[in-house]
Structures are given as C-alpha cells and as structure tokens.
Amino acid sequence: MPYLPSAGAPRAAASTSPVLLHARGLSATLDDGRCLYADLDLLLTEGPVALVGGNGSGKSTLLRQLAGDLPPGAGRVETRAHVHWLSQHCGPTPARVVDVLGEGDRIDALRRLLAGAGDAADVACVDEAWSLESDLRAALDAAGLGALGLDDAADACSGGERQQLRLLAAIRAPAPVLLLDEPSTFLDGEASRRWRDALLARPGATLVVTHDAAWLAATPRIVELRDGALHWTEGNLEVWRAQREARRRCEAQALAQARVARDRSSRDAAHMRERLDRRSARGRQVGRSENQSPLLLDHRADRADHSRGRAQAGLARQRDAADLAVRDAYVAMERLDTPEFVDAAALALPAGRQVLAFEGAHPCATSPRRALDWSCSGPVRIGLTGRNGSGKSTLLRAIAGRGGLAHGEVAAHVPVQSLDQHLAALSDEAAACDWLGQRMPDVAAADIATRLALLGLAGARARQPLGSLSGGERMRVAVAAAAWAMPAAPLLLLDEPASHLDFDSVEAMTSLLRAWPGALLVVSHDPAVLDALALTHRLHLDAEALVLE
C-alpha cells in the first residue's frame, strides 16, 4: 500500500509547524526506461507550496504518488491526515453537478430519507448532514455558480465551470493536505484570483502544481522538480525567476568557456600534428642521407610510427574530451527550441483576403443586448476574452463549422485549424510520431522525429502513447500539429493554448504564434499570453454582448 502509518515522530520540518505529510525515498521510472527521479524526499507542513518544473519532469507523477494513486517505488508516504487530490485530468464527466462536488450519494440518501423512503444505510450515509442540500446551494452561490442547479447535467457546463466545481469540492473536503494539479486551468481571470486566494489561505498544507504566474506570485515558497531532484526557493515567483536567470547565466558562461577550451585544444592538436609531421619528415631524410642498413631503417620507422600513434591517440582523447565538455554544457542549459512551420508560404495571407465575417453574432444569447457585426482581413491576431460559461468555446466551434450560434452567423472564409482546450483531437493510445504521421502523410518519418525532438520529445519518448505524456507535452504536440497541418490552414483557432505549459514552453509557443504567417484567434485567460502575441484586435464576450474592444 502506498500509505503507511507514521512510525514515531517524523524528521523536523524547516518550519516549526507540525509535519502533515512526509515522503521518503520516492522513485519513478517511465515505461520507456527514463528515470524521472529516485530517492526523493518531501516534507509538507502548514501553508501553501508551489511545485514547478519542466513539462514531463514528473510533477503530476509525484502528486499521484503522494495521493496514493501510484505506488511510491522503493519509498513510502507517511501521513497522519487525509489527503485530497485534484488531478490535472478529470476523466469522464460525472452525470450531475452534485456528483462533481462529490456529494451525489449523500444528497440522494438525504432526499430518500426526507421522502420517507430511506433506510439505515441512508442514515449512515447522511451522517447528520441534514442541511447538506441548502449548504451546497449556498456554497454554489458564494462561488459565483448560483446559476447551476445541483441536478443539472455536468457535461452541459463549460470547462471553467466544471473546474470551479472541482475546486469547490476540494476546498470543502475535510482534508488537512490538498494536492492541486494545475488548478487554474480553464478559469477566467476573476475566478482564478478568487480560487487562488481561497485555496492558498485554507488551513493545512497545500501543494500546488502550477505555471500560473498570478498563483506563483502569491505563493511564499516554491519547490522545483529539476534533473530528478527538488530545489527549494524561499520566496515567490519573482525570487524564483531571479535564481533561474542567475543559473542560466552560469550555464551560458560554462558553455562559452567549454567552447573556448575546445577551440584551444583544437589549435594545440593542429600544432602538435604539424610538429609530428616535421619530425617524421626529418627522420626519413636523415635515414636516407646516412646510408643506413634497411633493417635499421625499418626498426627506426617502426619506433617512429609507434610514437606517432601514441601522440595522435592522445590528441584524439583531448579533442573528444573537449567536445564532450561542450556537449555536456549544452545539454545542461535550460532551453526549448521553437518548432518551425511546414509551409510558411502556404499559410501567408494577403492584407485584402477576407478571413472572418460576423453578422449579428452571439453564441449563447437568443436576444443579445449587443451582437457583433464585423469582418476582418489579412493576418489578423484576435484575442477573445470572457468569463467562464460565456460561450467562448461555442463561438470557436461555430467558426470551425462544428456548430451554430444562438443569434446571427459567423463564417470563416479561409481554411481553419482548431485546437480545443481539452485536446479532444489527441488519441490517448497513439504514439506522438504515429499520430503526427497520420496528419502529415507527405512528411518523412525522420522529419517528424526531428520536429518532435525540437519539442523535447526525442527517441523513445516520441513513441510513447500520447495518454502517457504530461499535460504540457500533449499541449506542445497539439499546438505544433495545428501549426504543421497539411494541407495548410491559414486561420488558427486556439482555446487556452498555454494550459499545462511550463514557462519555457509558453515562451516557445508565443514565439511560434508571433511568427505565424496566417491569422489567429486565441482564447486565453492569461493577459501575459495575449500581450505577447501582439494582438491586432480584441473581442470580449459576456452573457448578453459580443463586442470589439
């Protein structure tokens, strides 16, 4: 079992607060044999801690081990408290809103008892929570979800609304330890701030896996999972970033020094070869001029060849060592290259080419207060914002031709490539290389492998089922696939493309999208992402209006 009873008092924590969770000697290895970490220790005490790290570094795996969803390898997890885990992937959507809140069984039991049809099992299930239904109703109202009914179908809720229901279940849970994996995913800015403040102020220990700058700025301690080890920062995002930049400067300096040493070694080797060649030439000339016997000349030639061979082998070892030092310094640098487009010329849009046309458009309101009448042409960059449940994803589906609007019409006049916030197009069973190969039949397998390597998915990792990749790795593949689509689609629709991405991946993605030669329409609750894309237009959507700002 992954949970073990605590044997005596655990090792003292960095703070004076009691230890609520102690993980010892955890290890995790992927199916392809890559070791994520080994002999990892972690102490959680009262207060919030943010866990960061590159996509695929093992953050979600670590949370699953702490939650007891995965075995801890050769280690163990000790806790005297209940742990509540909010996973990154919520799995199949429960039937009702109350089921997402985790209270479906108790509400059903309570209703049977109040109707006079319950039994002893129902009494035990309710456990004195006779006001549960009104309590849940009040909690929904306080969370800004008052429009939802407990018996409403959960799959009719927006992604942001479902995420808020999951967060409400987490904050209500009687668990001194919360493990939250990307909790701000799909949330609009206002909802994200509200839930951040509530969860980070909650009593107990809270470990949050996030790359959301607003959450990290409010978190007093950050721990980074990097190179299979945990690295602690006593401070928020600003302190962590300063440390990261200092480390990267050191890494760049080490690479520059290794390259200087390699160049010096190459020059020294060239000079040494010249000396050896001159010495060999002098030896042959002396042998001919002194009229020595052939046997003696052969012996001297063998000795010279042997000595020359030893010297050349030494030079080769020095050169290889210098090359290895450069490679090691390069590998140690934190970077993620930006993937290139398959056919930039085919994606380019002339300024006069019409892209989108809106006529009295609103995705959800049948009688909107303000509908949108607008058209745009050329390589526009459009940002779409709005609260959770306002209809942003519905509007994107209508633009892609996969649904209609409640009012008016919208039409795309160029081919469209879309990426939805749930990555529905990705197959959990297919490997990344095979999935991309099916979408890019005219591109050689070797070229696809090279492109995946640029995304940080090299070798066996590219042959792993997509379902086994981290959320950030899956998002990288999906964004790149949309950018590499064959035939080329000049209008790219992106719904929360920064979800699950680490900081370096977000920078690579925004760099790719800034260079996109076609048109973009991006839904994002992250102002920094929208600002980085150099938008030409902004649309804002609410329950009664779709407006051009």
For the chain, domain boundaries: 19-95+153-235, 243-332, 344-424+483-548
Return d(Cα 174, Cα 238) in angstroms, integer.
33
Q: Which residues contact 298 (CB under 8 A, 6 or more apart)?
A: none
Q: Which residues contact 176 (CB under 8 A, 6 or more apart)?
A: 20, 81, 82, 203, 204, 205
Topology alike, domains 19-95+153-235 and 344-424+483-548: yes
Residue 370 phi, psi (nearest 5): -140, 115
Q: Measured in Å, how far apart are the chain's first and last C-alpha atoms?
A: 56
342 DSSP 8-state letter: S
User: Residue 96: beta bridge partners?
Assistant: 153
546 DSSP 8-state letter: E
pTM of the predicted model as reported, rounded to 2 decimal places: 0.65
User: Residue 181: beta bridge partners?
Assistant: 209
Going residue by residue through the chain, which has 549 residues, state the pLDDT in tens, using 9 for 90 and above. 233 333 333 333 344 678 999 999 999 988 777 889 999 999 999 999 999 988 778 898 999 999 999 898 889 999 877 899 999 877 788 999 999 999 999 999 999 999 999 899 999 999 889 999 999 999 999 999 999 999 999 988 988 899 999 999 999 998 999 999 999 988 888 889 999 999 999 999 999 999 888 899 999 999 999 889 999 999 999 999 898 888 878 877 877 787 777 777 777 777 777 776 676 666 656 555 555 556 555 555 566 556 666 766 776 777 677 666 655 655 555 554 555 554 566 677 888 899 999 999 999 999 999 999 999 999 999 999 998 888 998 999 999 998 999 999 999 999 888 776 556 667 778 888 888 888 777 777 877 777 777 666 767 778 888 877 776 677 777 776 776 766 678 898 988 877 767 777 777 677 777 878 889 999 988 888 888 888 999 999 998 999 998
| 510 contacts 435 by C-beta, under 8 angstroms | no
Could you tell me the CA-to-CA distances from 10 to 1, 464, 467 in Å, in that order? 19, 38, 36
Q: How many helices (H) and strands (E) does the chain have?
A: 17, 19
Beta-carbon count within 10 A of 258 CB: 20
Six-digit token string for 497: 């493309």
CATH superfamily of 19-95+153-235: P-loop containing nucleotide triphosphate hydrolases (3.40.50.300)
- Which one, of 414, 433, 390, 425, lies nearest residue 492 by Cα? 414
| 177 contacts 82 by C-beta, under 8 angstroms | yes
Q: At what angle do helices 189-200 and 159-172 cross, to 10 degrees?
A: 10
Which residue's structure tokens are 């000349």?
Answer: 297
CATH 3.40.50.300 fits 344-424+483-548, yes or no: yes
